[in-house]
Every structure is written in C-alpha cells, then in structure tokens.
Structure 1
Amino acid sequence: MNITFRDSLFSGLGLASRFPFLLRPRSLSVSDRLAAFPTGKMPLHAPAEVRFDDLLIPYVHAEDDRDLPFLLGVVHAFLRLGQMELFRATATGRLCELFGAPAMRLDASLRRMGLARAVPAMLASLSPATSAWIERYAQGVSFMAAKSRGLSPETDFYQSAARPWSATDVLAVGRLISSDINWLFWLVRLRAYRDPGWPGLWERMTSLARCAAPSFVPDANDAADALWSTLGASQKAGSNCVAVAGSRTKNGAGLLAGDAHVQLSLPPLWCVAALKSPGFAAAGMTIPGVPAVLVGRNRHIAWGGTNMLALQSIFYDVSRLPTSAFREVEEKATVRFCGQRALRYRECDFGPVISDAPLLAALNLPPLALSWRGHRPSDEIGAMLAVNRAENFGEFRAAFEPWAVSGQHFLYADAHGGIGQVAALEFDPAASRAALDFLGDPADPAHAWGEKHRSTELPAVFAPEEGLLVSANNPAFGCDPALTLFEQSDDRYHRLRERILAATPFGPEQAFSMQQDTHCATSLTLARRIRLAALRIGPPAGTEALLDALAAWDGRYETDSRGAAALELTAHALARRVFPPRHGHGPTAVLMASPAALPLLAEDVGECGPLVLDNLAPALAEAAPRFARYPEWGALHHVVLKHPLASLPIAGRAFAHGREKSPGGTLTVHKTAIPLVGGPHDATYGATARHVHDLADEDESFVSLLGGQDGVAGSESFLSFAKLWRRGEYVTLPLRLATAKKRFPHAIPILPGGEP
C-alpha cells in the first residue's frame, strides 16, 4: 500500500469541496424531520403504521410479521443512516471510500483484523427464518437510503459512494458490534510486554480478575455446572445490569435495569425503538444496522447484558514459522477521489498477520497472527430474535445456542417474579491458556483451538435464593482456565448490591437513583490510607486543605466534590512516583491508563512500605497547588460529545458540542472513565444509555440516552435526550399499541405497494 502525494492532494481537494456544505448543518425541527419520512406506499404485505414521539422514538406497528424487519430498517436509516454507513465501512475496511487517501492506513489495518471474514459462511448457514428477516431489514435500509439524498450534509457526505444494503452488510455490521473488546487491551499492553517489569505487573493485574466476586455459584448437582465448578478460578464482565426478583419488588413481578458503557459519541451507539406485529412485540435499545432489540423487553420477560471481556482471541507469535507458511493476499480498495488502489497483507494458518498493519508499525512487534472465534460462523442475530420472542427462562437460555461472539452476561427477569442469568458465548480454554503466557505459541498443543463449550453447556442460574443478580465487571461464576484475565475492581458490583439490598421494596425509582450513583469504595479507601500515611510522615506545609478534603470526603464523585478532586490529583502524583520503580516506565504507562491503577495504588499505600513513604511528601506537595486551582471534581472532569465528522479540519467544528462538567469516575456505577491524570481532562468512555423494565406492566419501561435519537446534526432531536440525562430523567417506552397511540402523537400510515 502506497499513499502518493497525488492521492493525498486529490483527497484533500475533494474533501475540501464538501466543506462548505458541512460547515452549516441546517436547523431542523421535529416537524421538519418527520416531513422527510417517506409516506404513501412501500413494498409491504399489509398496511402498517410508524408512530413517533417528540423525541423521535419510533413505535413500529406492522399487520404482517414479514413487514416488521423492513420497517425497522426504514426507521434505522431515517434516524441514523450516516452512522450506519460509517459502521458498514468500518466493518469491511472501506473507510477510504468515504474519506479518501487519509483513511487508507486505517483500512489496511482494519482489513487485517478480518472482522467480516466469516460473513459468507454465516450467510450460507442461517436458518430460513433468520435469513428472511435480515434480508427484509436490508431492503428497508436500502429503500430509505434511496430517498435520503439531500436529507443532511453529513448523510450526503457518507452516502456519496453508497451501495444498496444487503444481508452481507448487516452481518458485517453485526460482526463489528461483536468484535473482541480485548483487542484494545492487548494492543495497549503490547507496548510494554517485553519490558523486564511486565511479568510482575501482568500477574498483579490479572490477580484482580482471579479474586473478583462471582454473580452466582454454579449448582454442583447439575452435570454441566458441576463440570465447570470443579475446574475452579474466574472470569469477567462489563457495563451494569441487575435483575431483581418479585420477592424484593413492590408488586411481585421481576425488575431489570441496565446501563451500557461504550465510547461517548454523537449520535450514541444506541437507538430506542418499540416493535409490534401479530407474532412479535418488543421494546428497548437497538443498534442501527442490527435488526433486533438487543436489550429490552417483551410481554413476558426483560433482558439486559454486559460484556464479560471473554477470552476469545489468540495472538500467536509466528516469528519462528518458515517463510513458506505465509501467504500474501491482495485486495482492491476504492479510494474516494483517487480510484482503485491495492492493499496487500500476509496471512497464515493461524490467522491474518496483524503486526504488518500500518497503524501497529510503531510498536515494533514480532510477527503476530490473530485467531478470533469470530473468524468462524455463528448466528448472534438469530439468537437475539429468539430472545426477543422468549416467554420463559428455558426459552431464553436455549436462544443462545448459536451465539459465539462477543461473550456477554445476559440477565433475565419475568412477569412472574423470576430472575436468571446466562453466559452467552462459545468458549475454548485454549484462548485462556495462551493468554496466561500473553502470546500464543503455534507449536504448543495447549494453545490450539479445538475444545469448545457453547452457552447452553455453561453454568446458568434461575431463581437464586437471594432474589437478586448483579453483573458489573465481575465474573458470573468461577472456572479454570478463566474466561477472562482482564482486571477490574469489584466497586460497581458491590455498590449495586448495596443499593438493592438497602431498598425494600425495590422499584423503578430506586433503579433510577442507583444508576446515577457515583460512590467508589476503592477511592475512599485510598483517600483514607493516604491521609493516615501522611500523618505518619508528617504532612508537608501547604497541604492542609488537600488533606482536609480527603478526610471529609464521602467517596462520591459529584461535580461539586472537593474530596474526589483531591484524591485523583494526589493519586496521579503518587502513582507516577511509586509505579515506575516497581514496574518500569513502559508497564507504568499501561497501568496509569488501566482501571487497575486505583486498586493497585490502594494496595501499595495500604502496605505503607518505604517506596510509598519516601514519595508521599513530594506527591502531596505536587498535588496541593493543583487542588487549589481545581478544588472541585467538576473543574477537572468533563464530557465532550462529538460527531465522527468533528475530526475533519475546519468543518469539524460544527460537529463538536460543548465541554460540560460531569459526575462519575472510572470505577463508579455512573461511569465516565479516565486514566490517572493530574489536571483537567475529558472522559471518552462510560454510561451512554439506561433502561429499566418493571414486568408488572407492559408499559412500565423507561429509557434515557446521552445524546439523542436523531443522527442528523442540526436536528432538534440530535441532543434531545441530553438535558434529560443531566437531570436524571427517563422517558416511558410503552409496549401496548393503545398506549403508544396516546403517547406517540406523530402517526405515519403506510400502505402496501410494489413487490415486497
């Protein structure tokens, strides 16, 4: 791959030619946006209706089941077509079709990951029902896309090279959404793994995973559970989700509440929708490009999930393979404004050689091949459609039989008061054994794929005696080899349990408050240990205000918290003195950006050894003047929401939205994650969507987004949820059609016309 000066010049001129249209997104009211929704006839089997509320939440009602996925595709494309085109281009490594030559290095790197490698085999293995559903969804997206020219500047920008959507595109986006989040952890750690201090730090970090509290204990009387129970150790999850049994709720029905932690962006990853046809009814959170309700409810049950950070990839060190073991693959890339260019990469029997990726060249890695479970076919969309239709826990658990990636904890609640949890993944212990050695060895049989355990073979729980289930970066159950090794603290898990146990009975209002909780026990412990250590050495002059703030702190990361600001500034100053002598500078850089930083620093300060005592006074002296300048957490901690086009020069200014104070931190229930830093900063990852479902009433579901429903910049609904989010308010999402007709005033009737 060669990017010539001519390529860069043509791309620059071509992109610049679009800037005048991007500089001024038009202001669009809800009425303006609804006027752009196609009316009249669509290729349907029967009449249908799409209703919107004032936030542009859709309620899709089809009189024929076959029309429901088509209309969901229309609605997704109407609200988020630009986002969907970006997803499609990312999944297939075709960003240069949108952004020209500057994106070629990124495309070359994405293609090496092989996100869509399994799609042809997946398409061939789908059940007829799932295949028909996906195909109809793609037809709906294409129908809307064809009518979207001139809809908005960014939509036209993304659509310039757009092709009609197909089932292949939908499956590719599904694989993008299912990609292994651990790749990010591995790539960060690869910067330091050859440092002499790395093995010791890796052991400390993975010990947090091995010591984490499980959500439930497998039943040793169950054959499958007994197998895993006797194997011994642990694994991990992501985001927050709780299920509360009817024995703890106000009305005897189950309650489920969850909030997803992803990258902070505009539009948000999630899109709220309700869907109804004679044989289907579900409401909750969807992802544009994926034709199912991923977290939400139907008439009988509710479901929510958290990423378990499961080990489903092996990075093989292929440096000792002979040259003959490698094959060169050449693919064509259409580069916007520049025509076609060739992209070449190597692969071997152990996967694509990702160390050749242009964006990884600076890491100076040995030849590494990536083998990911997602490189082989599976059917996550079919699994989710079965979940959407499930009426009890048996059907819910069975739905995950074809699910492989990415590994998720799925929690369950039902209208009869029952709750449950399953581990949705296909797990091969080889990935865990290779991870313990950090890199896989092609010659080691223990690192060879072959043993697989499907979701329905893994432990699950239904009706736990305690009446609650919590998943928040903690293992679902213990096993050896571990399903995950990536470090997190148990703060959110224990805090969620505390909030549920303290609220009797537990209802939606208690769930709303719980999801906005900013308390962190690890940080509070660290603050107290720092103060005690300071008293032991005699605090340096000028640090009194800092230490007083630590002493008075209640552990909450609210925007007006003095203690949170004092703790984070002191922790940064101390960690950058304590970690390098113990672990080395390279591993320290990894640790400072990790959620393990505060727990491990609290451990070090608790031991109160010479390394801490010798460095505490200068750390306090460094933090004190910074605390005087930034005396509250909100002065340090901000959230900035950006559209992907905000990265464009000049024109990008119109797509970035103001910096705001934000509560929360890396280890809090209301998560706004950051590395350890010593000054003002912007969180880039955290809570972006919340959902609460009371199974006592089909219309008692509540949602909130950080951002808005509409993906069109300038739209009144682009940020319509943001103010509600800041105030901690939720919007009701009904499932009954009669209720939707009252609460969703904007009705668009659609008649069948044309060949469906």
Structure 2
Amino acid sequence: MVADLLWGGGVAAALLAKGLFQRLPAVSTEERLASLPTHGLPITHPVTIHWNKYQVPFIEAETDEDLAVALGLVHAHLRLGQIEIMRRAAFGRVAEMIGPLGIEIDRSLRLLDVGRAVPEIAAALAPDNRRWIEGFVAGLNHYLSHTPSLPPEFAVLGLKPELWTLEDLLTLMRFNSADISWLIWVRLLPVRARMPQGDWRQLWLRLLAGGAPPSLAGATSGQMERAMAETALAAATRSGSNSLAVAAGRSSNGGAMIASDPHLPLGLPNPWLAAGFKSPSYNAVGLMMPGLPFVALGRNPWMAWGGTSLHAQGSDLVDVSGLPPTEFRDRPVTVRVRGGRPRRLRLRESPLGPVVSDGPLMANSQATALRWMGHRPSDEIGAMMAVARARDWDGFRTALSGFAVSGLNMVYAGSDGRVGHFLAAHLPRRRAERPTDLIIPPDAAEHWHDVVDGRQLPIRVDPTDGVIVSANDAPDTAQGAAPDAGAFPIGFFFAPPDRVTRIQQLLAARTLLSPQDLQRVQGDVVVPGALALRDLLLAHAPRAPARQSVHALVDTLRQWDGSYDQRQPGALAFELVLAGVARELGRARLVKPYQIIWHAQSLLLEDFQRADPAALRRGVERSLTRAARTLARLGTWGRFHQFRLQHPFGRLPLVGRRFRLPPFPADGGNNSVYKAGHAISDKPHGVSFGSCARHISELKDADANRFVLLGGQDGWLGSANYADQIDLWRQGGYMTLPLRPETARAAFPHKTYLRPRSPDDAPPAPTRRPDRPF
C-alpha cells in the first residue's frame, strides 16, 4: 500500500507537470467545425448538418443508418474526452488514467460488473436496433481515426485512441443505468459501520419513514479511493429531475405542452448535449447523453417525452457471509496501471451476485453481494428508439414496456392533447413489509424469481385537472395498477413532496397555462415547506434580542417567504440558523444521513420538536449570534451559495484553477423547483447537484422547442461554445431548436456536408496516437 501511494504520488506529480504546460488556446465555432472529418464516412448518401451559433446540430440524412453514423460523429466531435473517460470508468479502467491510486477504484467498479448482461443483450438485439447502434459506433470510430487533433484529456490522462465496439457502447449504457440505491448505500454504509447496532437500527427505521412509506403497486487512502469511486458512480446515476405535461384543455394555445429539467452533478462539460435530426424513420429534437444514441427527453412530430428518476429499488445488498467457502468462485481480472506493471485482481462471486463488499466503494465488515436488475438482459436503447418513433400514448407505453434499468418516471404529451405518466422499470416483486436493515438476509432475496415490468405498475393518463407532474416523489398507487400486480414496494426512498407540491400549486393558479408559465415554473425558488421549520426556530428565539445584528436577523427570518432567490437574505438567515441549531443539539452527525435520503429538513423538524425546550432555546440563541455575523458580512443567499463550475481537471491542486470558471451566485436550494443542492452548513459553498438543462415544447407548433444548458454544448477546452450558454441560463433564457428541417436550414448559419467513403479511401486506423502524455 505504501508503495502504491508513493508510486501514485509520482504519477500525480507527472499529471500536474503536464497540466502546467497544457496550452488551452481559444477556438472559435468556425474553427471547431472546420476540424470535423467530413470525407470518407461509412455512409451511403451525403448527409447535411446544420449548426446554430451554440454549435447545436440538426442532421438531415437520407437513411436511418446514415443518420446513426452522423450522430456518432457529432457526439465524438463535441464530447470525445468526456465519453472516453466514462467508457474507461464503465470498464473499471481508472488506473490506466491516474496510476496506482486508481487500482482500488477499479476493483470496486469491476465488482459491480455492469457489463455482465451485455453479451446476452447484444445477441438478442432486433436487426434495426443493431444496425442503429453499429452505425453510431461507426461514426465514433470515424472521428477517432480521422480527426486532425484529439481533445486535451487524451494527452493529460494518457488516453490512447481505441476503436469502439457494439459491446463497448452497451456497457457504457449499462454504466449510465446505475441504480439510485447504489448511491444511497455508498453513503450510508460508513454511517452503519460507525454506529452501535441499536442506534443504527433506530436511524434506519427513521430514514425509511422519512423517505416516505414504501410505495406499493397496488482522508486515508481508502477514504480517498472511496470518494473518487463515489464521484464516478454519482456521474452515472440519474437521481433527480422535474417533468410536467399540460393537456390541450389547460393550454392557452390549445395544444399540449411539456417541460423538463433534469438534475445531475454539476460540472463541465455539461452532462447533456442537444441535437435535432431527420431521416426516413426519425424526426426528433431533444437532449441526449454523450456517447448514447437516443434522445432521452424531447419530441417528435406527434408527441413529446420527459422523465425523472423513479427512485425504484432495482437492486438489493444481500448478506452472504454465512455461505460456505465452496459457494464462492473467483473472477480474475487484470488492471493496467499507468506508469507501471499491470495488477492482477481476484474478484469474488457468490450465488447471489458479485461480492461488492470486497472493494472500497461498498466496503463493510460482512460479505455482501449485489443483486441488480441490470445484470439481466434488457434493451433500453431499443426502447428509447421506439419512443422516438411513437405517435400516440399507446405506442409510447408499448415502447417503454421493455425498459428495465434504471427505473424512470416517463411523462408524455401528445399532439392529440393527451398527457400521461408511465413507470418504466423492471422490478422484483418484493415482500410488502419494509426491510429491517440496509443489507438483507439471503432468504429475503427469493423475490427475484418474480419480476414485473411497467405494464403492471401504476399508470396515469388524462387526469381530470389536465396536468401530470413528476419530481421523484412517491408514485400514486391508488390508480392505474394492473389487477394482478399485487402489493409490493416500488422503492423505499423518494424525494420530499416540496417540489411536486409547489409545481402543482403554481399550475393550479391559472386556468389556462402558457409556455411562459412553464418557464416561470422551471425558475421557481420558493419552498413553502421550509416555513414550518422556520416558525419552530422563531418560537424559541429571544423576544427582544440584545444585539442589533441578532434583532435584524430575527426580523429577516420573520419576513422570509421561503424564497431561495440569490438576491435576498432570508434563505441565508434560515440556513445559517438551521445548521447552527443542528450542531448545538448534537444532531450534526445525523445531518449527512438525513441528506442522503433528501429529507433533512423534515427529519430535523421532528428532532427539534422532540428536543428539550430549554435546550432548543439555548441552541437557537447561540446560533443566532453566530449567524448574525455571517449574515452581516455576506448579506444575500447568492454570496453564500454559488455555482462553481469546473472541468474534472479543476480538482487538481495548483493547476486546477485553470480549469474552473469564476464563481457566480446561485438561485435555488435543496427542495426548490429550481434545484441547486447543497450541504446544510454555516460555511459558504458551491452547488453540488441540481438543474443543469431545461426543455419546453409546445405540441401545437413543431418548431416551438426551447432548450438551454448550464454551461455549453461543446466539451472541447477553450472552445467558444464550452460555456457560452451560462449567460442565457442566468437570464432565464432558452435557445429555440426547430423540428422542421426547412426551418433549421434557414435558421442555423453553419453547414457541414458529410461525404460517403469511396473505394480508394483507407480503412479506419486504430493505431493513431495522441502526443505522448509525458
């Protein structure tokens, strides 16, 4: 271990040295587009790409296969560095990029075995889906083989160009389907290990209750490695989002509308890219995940779709410590390590799944196996491509019946004016009772023999109020479930109701809703649910504070309406006092597990209500004094709560500042519709997680589609489009992306023409290499 640390320090020093001399020249949009390899593509007809000023493409292709190739080329052009880092993380190849400090990260990632079902998935692909994926892969490979220069990430991380395979892309898809439960387990397992067993059991039951009842259908090296592995996992986990649909009868323009804003860890490049396209079978515009060949949220001529994480329980951690040694087998793997010799690892397998407790990510004292729905074959790419072709509600839900992981709330709006909500997930039919611990006994895993899909889960369509809202809240199980579904938990940890309740309140305020109303919803930062906790704190504040600064703070709290507007002081006063009282009452150690399940405010409210009144009064008084000093110094929420957007290289010491944008004030908070997540703390902080992209479409008008990214479309460091949408985001603006090709031809100023390969063109050259990294 000491040798690994020294060796890793040497590689890290080399990374720093490379970063010190890494030039980041400014590159214009025109220069970036001129670098695209446009000739000799594996296409049968010429393809035209129209680009707007933000470098968002609209692709016109004469065949579906040619469109897939062009999309792969576009993804590689815009996000190759980001995609290649994610590919290596999906395969547990982090040590190849960062040296020996990545060995144990790779152990954890390989134990997850996200690609386990890929051979079966590949073998079962429908011919059309196989051709589509292979075309996308061919586009990625053409870029890798013919681009005149590779992204800076290649040189700094020592990445070598490797041609993609269909299996690579399917594995990346599985990695991006990481279960929300994993992120919860990774953060709760250390809490479980530190607490006495009795205290943990009590906390576990409170966390289950805080996360809402189960929804029924019907700075050691080890800590560092764990943190780095958790970062990789968080980037792959879709854990948040808002999505809403408005029926034609509630719309001011007489047509249905949809609005979505996904929530993910914040950083640069943005986790989404925008695109539009037209071929014989496809005409769509929307947001795509870099490296994956489908529109995750967007629209076609007949319908629009959005989605949020279902927070479904698609995984279990199972105690296998009591199984005899003969029940386990080893899975040997070789990890290549940057700057040194390969390392041989032996990964344990149990009859109930890989033993994930053997790695730092999910380490605990008892041997624990992972059961995951993603270890079974299913075709999510095919499901989403079928969604892109669907023309009505029936086609939409039929397409999604094959979508298994990770579970999604899928929201629908149709040109026929209808709206609906479908739970896209495959889940084991668990026992109805709550689990007594985070890790279940082996006999509790018997439910994995009976799996249900979205057709047996609750469905909502054409509600009487004409509105569908999803914000990671517990599904409404009172309607829509199949008669034979039975009672079983969909999940155990759902988001608090603040966002969904607030959206419903805003939509109910008007009889007819306009696109501007949906824009206001997406930017809303008021959290009425926080006022009950505010009132409790005020009830224990001194009636006549001796200090003027404390008097001013109490006054600010009394006048606060729950708004997390960056320009106002109320949210700052509240969060400072809340963090202080939690610390004074000895609840600080519980704030983190409370936040892991998104219910910190409601659980702290319970704690404060149960506290000794005299102790609570003392805690409030002491907290007011400290909070008053910070409030006087900073003044507003936005000076305390900021966006600090950065490239992953921004985490490097010394040179990291070169890869960070200047911080700027952030609206929103943990439970606001405009989500801007943060720790409960009395220290200034950056937003860690939240809204990072927005979409609004009017089904009445094919070209009325608004999008914006928190950052930019182009992932190339130094590009004019790397972060050029930030001002648009801060102003509450959007760019318009038309669905009609003729509109894109006229409105998008830049053109790229892709030419088919001729018999004289050379085949792809997989041996191309970037400049030597060190």
Q: How does 1:35-434 map to 2 (within 5 A)?
A: 35-157=34-156, 160-193=159-192, 194-195=195-196, 196-210=198-212, 228-229=217-218, 238-361=240-363, 364-430=364-430
Distance 1:650 1:512, change over 3 A: same
CA contact (8 A) 2:591 2:600 kept: no
CA contact (8 A) 1:237 1:475 kept: no
Distance 1:527 1:732, change over 3 A: same
TM, length-normalised to structure 2:
0.90
Equivalent-residue separation in structure 1 for 2:545 and 2:365 (angstroms): 45
Q: What is the Cα deviation at residue 341 of structure 1? A: 2.1
Amino acid at match of 2:722: F
**Aligned to 1:486, which of 487, 493, 498?**
493
CA contact (8 A) 1:639 1:683 kept: yes
Q: Deviations over 1:46-101 (max 9, x none)?
A: 12101111100010110111111111000000000000001100111012222222
Q: What is the number of equivalent residue pairs in this alignment?
A: 728
The aligned counterpart of 2:583 is 576
Q: What is the Cα deviation at residue 338 of structure 1? A: 2.0
The aligned counterpart of 1:656 is 660
Distance 1:203 1:540, change over 3 A: farther
Distance 1:549 1:270, change over 3 A: same
Paired residue secondary structure (2:449): coil
The aligned counterpart of 1:232 is none
Q: What is the Cα deviation at residue 284 of structure 1? A: 0.3
The aligned counterpart of 1:465 is 464
Q: How does 1:516-531 map to 2 (within 5 A)?
A: 516-531=523-538
Amino acid at match of 1:416: D
RMSD between superposed Cα atoms in Å: 2.4
Equivalent-residue separation in structure 1 for 2:639 and 2:451 (angstroms): 50
Q: What is the Cα deviation at residue 207 of structure 1? A: 2.1
Gaps of 5+ in 1: 215-226, 230-235
Amino acid at match of 1:341: R
Q: What is the Cα deviation at residue 16 of structure 1? A: 5.2
Equivalent-residue separation in structure 2 for 1:334 and 1:191 (angstroms): 29
Equivalent-residue separation in structure 2 for 1:21 and 1:168 (angstroms): 36
Amino acid at match of 2:317: F
Equivalent-residue separation in structure 1 for 2:4 and 2:382 (angstroms): 44
The aligned counterpart of 2:740 is 736
Equivalent-residue separation in structure 1 for 2:305 and 2:14 (angstroms): 46
Q: Deviations over 1:301-345 (max 9, x none)?
A: 000000011111111122222222222221012222324221222
Paired residue secondary structure (1:279): coil
Distance 1:85 1:497, change over 3 A: same
Paired residue secondary structure (2:411): strand
Distance 1:341 1:431, change over 3 A: farther
Q: What is the Cα deviation at residue 3 of structure 1? A: 5.8
CA contact (8 A) 1:96 1:102 kept: yes
Equivalent-residue separation in structure 1 for 2:284 and 2:327 (angstroms): 49
Equivalent-residue separation in structure 1 for 2:398 and 2:391 (angstroms): 11
Paired residue secondary structure (1:191): helix
Equivalent-residue separation in structure 1 for 2:173 and 2:580 (angstroms): 42
The aligned counterpart of 1:563 is 570
Q: What is the Cα deviation at residue 25 of structure 1? A: 0.9
Distance 1:715 1:11, change over 3 A: same
Paired residue secondary structure (1:294): strand
Larger CA deviation: 558-567 vs 446-455: 446-455
**Aligned to 1:708, which of 708, 712, 717?**
712
Amino acid at match of 2:509: A
Equivalent-residue separation in structure 2 for 1:372 and 1:694 (angstroms): 38
- Mapped pair 1:692 → 2:696: yes
The aligned counterpart of 1:620 is 624
Larger CA deviation: 703-712 vs 504-513: 504-513
Q: What is the Cα deviation at residue 448 of structure 1? A: 4.2
Equivalent-residue separation in structure 1 for 2:217 and 2:75 (angstroms): 41
CA contact (8 A) 1:260 1:687 kept: yes
The aligned counterpart of 1:220 is none
Distance 1:389 1:417, change over 3 A: same
CA contact (8 A) 2:201 2:437 kept: no
CA contact (8 A) 2:15 2:156 kept: no
CA contact (8 A) 1:253 1:418 kept: no
Q: What is the Cα deviation at residue 354 of structure 1? A: 1.4
Distance 1:309 1:653, change over 3 A: same
Distance 1:13 1:551, change over 3 A: closer
Gaps of 5+ in 2: 219-237, 479-486, 764-774
Q: Deviations over 1:663-683 (max 9, x none)?
A: 100000111101210120111
Equivalent-residue separation in structure 1 for 2:444 and 2:282 (angstroms): 47
**Aligned to 1:647, which of 637, 648, 651?**
651
Distance 1:706 1:77, change over 3 A: same
Equivalent-residue separation in structure 2 for 1:304 and 1:503 (angstroms): 22
Larger CA deviation: 647-656 vs 462-471: 647-656
The aligned counterpart of 2:600 is 597
Q: What is the Cα deviation at residue 152 of structure 1? A: 3.6
Amino acid at match of 1:519: V
Q: What is the Cα deviation at residue 178 of structure 1? A: 0.7
* Percent identity of paired positions between Structure 1 and Structure 2: 36
CA contact (8 A) 2:112 2:370 kept: yes
Equivalent-residue separation in structure 1 for 2:311 and 2:556 (angstroms): 36
Distance 1:181 1:237, change over 3 A: closer
Amino acid at match of 1:228: A
Distance 1:288 1:69, change over 3 A: same
Equivalent-residue separation in structure 1 for 2:618 and 2:15 (angstroms): 55
CA contact (8 A) 2:564 2:667 kept: yes
CA contact (8 A) 1:519 1:556 kept: yes
Larger CA deviation: 401-410 vs 298-307: 401-410
Equivalent-residue separation in structure 1 for 2:577 and 2:757 (angstroms): 67
The aligned counterpart of 1:224 is none
Q: What is the Cα deviation at residue 210 of structure 1? A: 3.0
CA contact (8 A) 2:239 2:263 kept: no
Amino acid at match of 1:240: N
Segments of 4+ moved more than 6 angstroms = none
Q: What is the Cα deviation at residue 208 of structure 1? A: 3.5
Distance 1:566 1:16, change over 3 A: closer
Amino acid at match of 1:97: E
Q: Deviations over 1:344-401 (max 9, x none)?
A: 221211211111113555xx53221111111111110000000000000000000012
- Mapped pair 1:533 → 2:540: yes
CA contact (8 A) 2:50 2:750 kept: yes
Equivalent-residue separation in structure 1 for 2:283 and 2:436 (angstroms): 44
